[in-house]
C-alpha cells in the first residue's frame, strides 16, 4: 500500500475543509486578525499536525484570491481612462478644389482678312503687345486716304461758310438801317408807303439770309465731324489687322496658320497667365461664414506639392444646384510649376476653438445611436457626452463638446453605460 497518495488526499481534504467550512477563519488569518477561541479550538481538534501545517499552507495560497474576489465584489467595473485637457486648435475649413490661371483669354479677330504672319507655337512666352497674328490690309489703306481727303475738303469749306455768314449779317444790318430811315421819312410824309414796305421786305430777306448762312456753317462742321469719323473708322480697321497679346503670359495654343482666313470671332490664339494662380473651391453654406477675405490658406496638390496663399474672393451667390459658395485663393507661382486645372485639397484657417485630442478608439455610441465619448464623473460613475468632430488625423481626432477637463474612458467604454459605477485606472496623455 502506497503512503504518498494517502498523504496527498489528506492534504487536499484539509485544504478544501478550510476553504469551504472554515472560510471566515481562513480569511481572518490571511488579514492578520485575531482568531476567535471557537475557531482556534476547532483548529486544535484537527487530526494531525501534518494536516494542520498543510492546511495553513493552502490557506496562504487561497487567501489572496479570496481577498481579491471580495474587493472586486465591493468596487465598480474596471476601465482605463485618459485625463484630457482641452487645447486651442486652428479650426480650419477643409474643401476640395482645383487650380485656375489668374488670366486666360482667347484672342480673336475683329475683321475679315487672311493671315500673313508665321504661326507661334503653343508654350511660347509672350509679352503684352507682342504680335500674334498679322492680317492682310487689302484696300484698307486706300479707304483711309479717301476718308482723310474728305476730311480735308470739309475743313476747307469752313472759311467759305463763315464768309457767307458774315455777308448775310452785313446785309441784315444794312436792311435794318434802311428800314429805320424809311420809317422816319414815312412818319414825316417824305416817303411813300411803298418804300417803307420795300425796306421791311429787304430786312426780312436779310434775316433769312443770316439763318441760311448759319445753317451752311453748321452743315460744314457736321461734314468735318463725319469725315473725322470715317478717318477714325479706317484707322481702327487698319489697327485690327495686328492682333496683339493682351498681357504677359504663355500661349496655350498655336496662333492662326499662315494663309488662313480670319473672320470676326475667329480664334487667333489662347493666352494664359500663370505667374499668379488661383485655387478655386466651393464651401458649404453651413461653413461659409467662417471664411473671411484675407484668411490664410494652404493646399496640397495631386502631385504632393504644398502651396500657401490668401483668400481673395467669396461668392455672394450660392450655386443653385449644390448650394455651395465659390471661394478663390490667390497663390504666387513665379516658377510656373503649378499648372492650370490641377486638383487641390484646400485648408482655410478659421477662428480657433478649444478641443480635446483623443484616440479614435475612444468614440462610441449611446443607446440612441449618438456619437460621443464616455467619461468618469466625480462620483466615479459613467457619463456620456455627445461630441463634435472638428478634425481627423492619422493618430487621433480633435473633439469638441466636452468640458475643459475630462476623464475619458478609452478602454472598456463599450461595456458600461451612463450611471454605472467604475473603478478607473488612469493613463497619461503621452502614453
Q: Cα–Cα distance between 294 and 343 in angstroms, integer? A: 22
**Which residues neighbour 224 within 8 Å (Cβ) at sequence distance 6 or greater?**
151, 154, 155, 158
Helix (H, G, I), strand (E, B) or coil at 239: helix
Q: Which three cell numbers stand for residue 32?
A: 492578520
pLDDT confidence of 190, banded at 50, 70, 90? low
Cβ partners under 8 Å of residue 396, min gap 6: 357, 358, 359, 360
Mean pLDDT of the chain: 83
Of 1, 87, 149, 82, nearest to 363 (Cα)?
Answer: 82
Q: How confident is the model at residue 62 (pLDDT cuts 50, 70, 90)?
A: very low
Residues 6 or more apart whose CB falls under 8 angstroms from that of 266 comprise: 108, 109, 256
Q: At 284, list the grid cell.
A: 458649404
Looking at residue 385, what is its pLDDT?
A: 94
Closest CA to 362 of 390, 385, 391, 381: 385
Smallest CA-to-CA distance from 89 within 311, 308, 320, 356 is with: 356
pLDDT digits (tens, 9 = 90+) for 129-164: 999 999 999 999 999 999 999 889 888 888 888 888
DSSP count for the chain of H helices, then E strands = 6, 22
Q: Residue 325: pLDDT above 90?
A: yes
* Model confidence at 201: pLDDT above 50: yes
- For 401: left if phi > 0, alpha if psi spans -120 to 50, otherwise beta; the answer is left
Question: Do the Cβ atoms of 147 and 228 come closer than 8 Å?
Answer: no
pTM for this one?
Answer: 0.52
Residue 157, C-beta contacts closer than 8 angstroms, at least 6 positions apart: 220, 223
Q: Which of 116-125, 196-205, 241-250, 282-291 has the lowest mean pLDDT?
A: 196-205
What is the rounded distance in angstroms from the CA atom of residue 217 to the CA atom of residue 163?
Answer: 9
pLDDT (0 to 100) of residue 286: 83
Amino acid at each position: 500500500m502506497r503512503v504518498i497518495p494517502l498523504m496527498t488526499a489528506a492534504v487536499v481534504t484539509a485544504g478544501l475543509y478550510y476553504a469551504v467550512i472554515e472560510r471566515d477563519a481562513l480569511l481572518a488569518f490571511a488579514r492578520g486578525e485575531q482568531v476567535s477561541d471557537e475557531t482556534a479550538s476547532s483548529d486544535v481538534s484537527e487530526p494531525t499536525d501534518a494536516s494542520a501545517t498543510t492546511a495553513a499552507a493552502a490557506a496562504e495560497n487561497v487567501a489572496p484570491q479570496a481577498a481579491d474576489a471580495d474587493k472586486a465584489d465591493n468596487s465598480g467595473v474596471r476601465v482605463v481612462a485618459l485625463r484630457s485637457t482641452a487645447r486651442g486648435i486652428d479650426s480650419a475649413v477643409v474643401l476640395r478644389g482645383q487650380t485656375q490661371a489668374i488670366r486666360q483669354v482667347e484672342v480673336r479677330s475683329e475683321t475679315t482678312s487672311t493671315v500673313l504672319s508665321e504661326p507661334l507655337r503653343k508654350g511660347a512666352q509672350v509679352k503684352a503687345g507682342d504680335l500674334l497674328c498679322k492680317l492682310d490690309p487689302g484696300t484698307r489703306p486706300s479707304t483711309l486716304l479717301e476718308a482723310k481727303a474728305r476730311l480735308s475738303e470739309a475743313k476747307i469749306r469752313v472759311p467759305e461758310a463763315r464768309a457767307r455768314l458774315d455777308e448775310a449779317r452785313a446785309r441784315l444790318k444794312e436792311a435794318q438801317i434802311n428800314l429805320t430811315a424809311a420809317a422816319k421819312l414815312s412818319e414825316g410824309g417824305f416817303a411813300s408807303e411803298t418804300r417803307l414796305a420795300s425796306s421791311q421786305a429787304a430786312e426780312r430777306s436779310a434775316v433769312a439770309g443770316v439763318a441760311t448762312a448759319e445753317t451752311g456753317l453748321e452743315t460744314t462742321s457736321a461734314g468735318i465731324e463725319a469725315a473725322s469719323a470715317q478717318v477714325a473708322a479706317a484707322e481702327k480697321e487698319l489697327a485690327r489687322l495686328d492682333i496683339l497679346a493682351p498681357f504677359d503670359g504663355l500661349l496655350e495654343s498655336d496662333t492662326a496658320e499662315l494663309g488662313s482666313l480670319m473672320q470676326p470671332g475667329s480664334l487667333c490664339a489662347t493666352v494664359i497667365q500663370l505667374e499668379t494662380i488661383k485655387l478655386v473651391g466651393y464651401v458649404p453654406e453651413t461653413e461659409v461664414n467662417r471664411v473671411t477675405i484675407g484668411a490664410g490658406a494652404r493646399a496640397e496638390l495631386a502631385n504632393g506639392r504644398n502651396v500657401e496663399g490668401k483668400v481673395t474672393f467669396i461668392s455672394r451667390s450660392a450655386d443653385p444646384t449644390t448650394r455651395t459658395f465659390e471661394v478663390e485663393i490667390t497663390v504666387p507661382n513665379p516658377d510656373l510649376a503649378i499648372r492650370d486645372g490641377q486638383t487641390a485639397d484646400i485648408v482655410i484657417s478659421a477662428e480657433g476653438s478649444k478641443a480635446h485630442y483623443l484616440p479614435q478608439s475612444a468614440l462610441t455610441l449611446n443607446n440612441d445611436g449618438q456619437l460621443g465619448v464616455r467619461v468618469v464623473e466625480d462620483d466615479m460613475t459613467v457619463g456620456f457626452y455627445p461630441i463634435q468632430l472638428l478634425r481627423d488625423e492619422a493618430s487621433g481626432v480633435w473633439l469638441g463638446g466636452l468640458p475643459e477637463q475630462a476623464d475619458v474612458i478609452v478602454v472598456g467604454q463599450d461595456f458600461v453605460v451612463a450611471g454605472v459605477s467604475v473603478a478607473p485606472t488612469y493613463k497619461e496623455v503621452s502614453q
